């Protein structure tokens, strides 16, 4: 098999009461967030969390979802427990399991055998009267976010729901031949022109007779190594954490079934969802 072209654009990077509030898409992490100060919600919720659950969180990281937005769980876990969160909350195989943890923390009695594993946890206390609609507003948003991620994972999208919307909007510009590009545009690690950058995208797409979208066989993932690699090219460096979202697609042209063409695009976003850098590599 011959790899003819590789194009890389690597980016650095249940309602309160009985009725869940509508989900709002938001800034920063690009995930679904509440329309109020998350820190205030977390502080209020933390005061009502059973001490037994709090004590178990370093062994059961999903319990951080009771007072922490999904995209902040890894940082909160590291700060409280002194270790990295593995697997991450972008792990497709874990998303449904982690989502059910929110209900298990309230003592929900599961009927599905897959989730009864929680009943064996030392912190689990059955509460037959509990209903899913009674979870807090923050917990509800976390459940919705994890459910969306799980559904997206089946299509190769392993990023937050909010970030998926950002990437799809950017890809729509590529499809309309009106790409939105930031000031930092790199080719092989060196600043390049917008025309050079887009040429590197359209060539393999043309050979594959494909449009850039987020449907299979396209995959979309986070790549922290890319975010680190591009930091030196971003001046001034924005405050907060950069996130790299990498789009990958490959295939075989009908007239060259033994030659693989591939494209890898990365978008660099800051904490305010601003696209601040993109990068690509020359064909080889």
Q: DSSP characters for 37-78? A: -HHHHHHHHHTTS-HHHHHTTTT-GGGGGGTS-GGGHHHHHH
SS3 state at 150: helix
pLDDT tens across the length of the chain (284 residues): 443 433 333 333 333 333 333 333 333 333 333 333 444 344 444 448 899 999 999 999 999 999 999 989 999 999 999 998 887 777 788 889 999 999 999 999 999 998 999 999 999 999 999 998 899 999 999 999 999 988 888 888 888 888 999 999 999 999 999 999 999 998 888 899 999 999 988 988 888 888 898 888 899 999 988 889 898 899 899 988 899 999 998 888 888 888 888 888 999 999 999 999 998 877 55
CA distance 111 to 242: 41
- Tell me which DSSP letter residue 214 carries: S
272 φ, ψ (degrees, to nearest 5): -105, 15
CA distance 239 to 271: 8
Give the tokens for residue 91. 């792990």
Residue 134 confidence (pLDDT) = 92
User: What angle do the packed helices 137-153 and 161-175 form, to 10 degrees?
Assistant: 50
pLDDT tens track for 181-237? 999 998 888 899 999 999 988 988 888 888 898 888 899 999 988 889 898 899 899
- Taking alpha carbons only, the member of 192, 41, 60 closest to residue 118 is 60
As beta bridge partners, residue 245 has 222, 267
Q: Which stretches of the chain are assigned E, i.e. beta strand?
A: 2-8, 24-25, 32-33, 184-187, 190-191, 219-222, 243-251, 259-269, 275-280
User: What is the location of CATH 3.10.450 in the chain?
Assistant: 2-11+160-280
CA distance 28 to 40: 17
Residue 283 confidence (pLDDT) = 58
Residue 66 confidence (pLDDT) = 96
Residue 87 confidence (pLDDT) = 76
Residue 216 confidence (pLDDT) = 85
SS3 state at 208: helix
Q: What is the four-CA torsion angle of 250, 253, 256, 261, rounded to 10 degrees?
A: -30
What fold is seen in the domain 2-11+160-280? Answer: Nuclear Transport Factor 2; Chain: A, (3.10.450)
SS3 state at 217: coil
User: What is the location of CATH 1.20.58.1690 in the chain?
Assistant: 31-153
- Sequence-distant (≥ 6) Cβ neighbours of residue 37 within 8 angstroms: none
How distant is the alpha carbon of residue 158 from its chain centre? 6
Residue 257 confidence (pLDDT) = 83
CA distance 149 to 142: 11
**Is the domain defined by 31-153 classed in CATH 3.30.360.10?**
no
Give the tokens for residue 224. 């922290």
CA distance 224 to 33: 22
């Amino acid at each position: 098999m011959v790899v003819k072209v590789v194009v890389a654009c690597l980016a650095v990077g249940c309602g309160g009461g009985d009725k869940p509030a509508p989900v709002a898409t938001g800034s920063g992490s690009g995930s679904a967030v509440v329309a109020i100060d998350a820190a205030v919600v977390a502080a209020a919720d933390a005061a009502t969390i059973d001490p037994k659950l709090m004590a178990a969180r370093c062994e059961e990281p999903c319990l951080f979802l009771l007072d922490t937005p999904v995209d902040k769980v890894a940082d909160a876990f590291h700060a409280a427990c002194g270790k990295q969160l593995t697997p991450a909350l972008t792990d497709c195989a874990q998303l449904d399991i982690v989502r059910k943890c929110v209900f298990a923390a309230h003592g929900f009695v599961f009927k599905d055998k897959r989730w009864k594993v929680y009943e064996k946890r030392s912190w689990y206390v059955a509460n037959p009267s509990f209903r899913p609609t009674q979870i807090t507003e923050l917990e509800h948003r976390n459940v919705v976010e994890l459910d969306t991620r799980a559904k997206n994972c089946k299509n190769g999208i392993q990023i937050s729901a909010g970030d998926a919307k950002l990437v799809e909007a950017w890809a729509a510009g590529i499809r309309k031949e009106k790409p939105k590009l930031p000031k930092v545009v790199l080719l092989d690690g060196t600043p390049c022109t917008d025309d050079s950058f887009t040429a590197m995208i359209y060539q393999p797409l043309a050979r594959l007779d494909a449009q850039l979208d987020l449907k299979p066989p396209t995959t979309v993932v986070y790549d922290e190594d890319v975010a680190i690699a591009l930091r030196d090219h971003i001046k001034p460096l924005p405050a907060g954490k950069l996130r790299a979202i990498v789009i990958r697609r490959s295939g075989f042209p009908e007239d060259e079934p033994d030659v693989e063409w591939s494209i890898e695009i990365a978008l660099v976003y800051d904490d305010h969802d601003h696209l601040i850098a993109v990068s690509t590599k020359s064909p080889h």
